[in-house]
A = this chain, B = another copy of it.
Amino acid sequence: MFPGALPHPGRMRQHVARHVTMAEDRRGRSADVTAESLLVSWNDTPARQAIVAFVHAVASEGSPGFAEPAERVAVFDNDGTLWPEKPIPIQLDFTLFRMAELAVRNPSLKDRQPYKAAAERDYRWLGEAMIKHYHGDDADLRLLEGAVESAFAGMDVEAFGSEVLAWFESASHPTLRRPYLSCGFMPMVELLRYLEANGFVTYIASGGDRDFMRPFARRLYGIPPERVIGSALGLDLDSGGDDTALMYKSKIEFFDDGPEKPVRIWSRIGRRPLVAGGNSNGDIPMLRFARKGQRSALRLLVLHDDADREFAYTASSEKALDRARTHGWTTISIKNDWATVFTDRRLPPVPDPEVTGLR
């Protein structure tokens, strides 16, 4: 829908393939593919230098940091790491869209929260639910959680994927005024390609819902469904008819955040990552898991400090930022390290006080 919005994985791969072939021709085996051609949205700062130095060592046989190709696994959180998570997580926006749809089909829901808020696009109710939560009143938050868990109950996995894709065709960010499909952080997409060009296999490891991310992860990030790790609803096999189908339960199987992230990474990959990127306290166990004994690892933490181009906040990231300082993790400042955050493609301004008030 938005061609050219992000480096196209296919085109990028061709470019990279050509590059690797040249490197192989020259040296008989591929070493570090130069960062110059791939990390073009990055400023030449210590963060970028740390990334390039690490990858160069990993890819250079004989270097103390060399790692066999099988060990080159990179995992990245999604919300706040590969795309924005403010003012509300994009997945929540989708779920509200679904709740509004349910309220249209079942008018008895229209006067109940959170369906009412969803149908009226009243994001203030959501904001107030969060404020009440911080003041110890979880009643509204529980209403929301219950509705989120049951929003797709009984839907089969393939129908859900089609709904997600259809929604992304037109959904856009409420304050950045760009299609969600062009909300991927350009420098991070470049980093994925740069790692892959140097023999890494890249994965998403996010607290977001696995099956929500899968349909767009290939398009935004060039990452196929089998490399998307995330939270999951339970699944039931319906084999009553001629065809079998997998249906969502209205119950979460696991929430892939905090100490659960290493569990899910191991379950899926069977190896520790060598590169891990995140942005919040929930990513600490994943970043710690990348290191074992004397083996060095690249731990990346995205710092949201750019109110002009994205958002500026440190809430829910304080401990991670502390740990980055004390344990040699590489903090990526959006403001200082990224020359470009998104592509230039924006939607025309749409004044919407209810929405922009949240920023």
Interface residue? A292 (CB, 8 A)? yes
Q: Which of A224, A237, A268 has most chain B Cβ within 10 Å?
A: A237
Write the nearest CB–CB distance from A337 to chain B, whole angstroms.
Answer: 27
In the bound complex, do residue B289 and residue A263 qualify as a contact, i.e. CB atoms below 8 Å apart? Answer: no
Measured between beta carbons, the chain B residues less than 8 angstroms from A210 are 267, 270
Q: Which residue of chain B has its CB nearest to the CB of A70?
A: B224
Report the contact-size class of chain A (Cβ under 8 Å from the partner): 35 or more
Name the distance in Å between A70's Cβ and chain B's nearest Cβ: 7
* CB-based contact A270/B239 at 8 Å: no
Does chain B have a CB within 8 A of A285? yes
Instruction: Let me know if B237 and A285 touch, CB within 8 A.
Output: yes
Instruction: Tell me, rounded to whole Å, the shortest Cβ–Cβ distance linking A211 to chain B.
Output: 7
Q: Does A9 contact B (CB under 8 A)?
A: no
Q: Mark contacts of A238-277 with chain B using CB atoms, 8 A cut-off: 1 yes-contact digit, 0 otherwise.
A: 0100011010000000000001101100111111000000
What 0/1 pattern do residues 209 to 232 of A give for CB contact below 8 A with B? 011001000000000111010001
Of the residues B228, B263, B270, contact of A226 by C-beta under 8 Å: B270
Kindly identify which residue among B201, B232, B244 contacts A285, using a CB–CB cutoff of 8 Å: B244
Whole-angstrom CA separation of A104 from B267 in the bound complex:
31
A228-B267 Cα distance, complex, nearest whole Å: 10
Instruction: Assess whether B289 is in contact with A235, with CB atoms less than 8 Å apart.
Output: no
A346 touches B (CB below 8 Å):
no
Q: A237-B285, A243-B292, A244-B289 are in contact. Are A228 and B270 (CB under 8 A)?
A: yes
Selected from B236, B237, B268, B288, the residue in CB contact (under 8 A) with A268 is B268
Question: Which among B70, B232, B243 is the interface contact of A291 at CB below 8 angstroms?
Answer: B243
Quick check: A235 and B291 within 8 Å, CB to CB?
no
Docked Cα-Cα span, A103 to B202, in Å, equals: 43
A266 to B243, CA, bound (A): 15
A3: interface (CB < 8 Å): no
A201 to chain B minimum Cβ distance, whole angstroms, is: 8
- A262, B244: Cβ atoms closer than 8 Å: yes
Check A293 for interface membership: any CB of B closer than 8 A. yes
Q: Given A262-B244, A263-B246, A285-B244, does the pair A270, B211 have CB atoms closer than 8 Å?
A: yes
Residue A155 CB within 8 A of the other chain: no
- A157 within 8 Å of B by Cβ? yes
In the assembled complex, the Cα of A349 lies from the Cα of B272 at a distance in Å of 42
A291 proximity list for chain B (CB < 8 A):
243-244
Q: List 13 A-B contacts (CB under 8 A).
A: A158-B292, A210-B267, A226-B270, A232-B267, A235-B266, A235-B267, A236-B259, A237-B260, A237-B263, A239-B259, A244-B285, A244-B289, A246-B263
* Extra contacts besides A243-B292, A246-B262, A268-B268 (18): CB < 8 Å: A210-B267, A214-B270, A224-B270, A225-B270, A225-B271, A226-B268, A226-B270, A226-B271, A235-B263, A236-B263, A237-B260, A237-B285, A239-B285, A239-B288, A243-B293, A244-B262, A244-B285, A244-B288
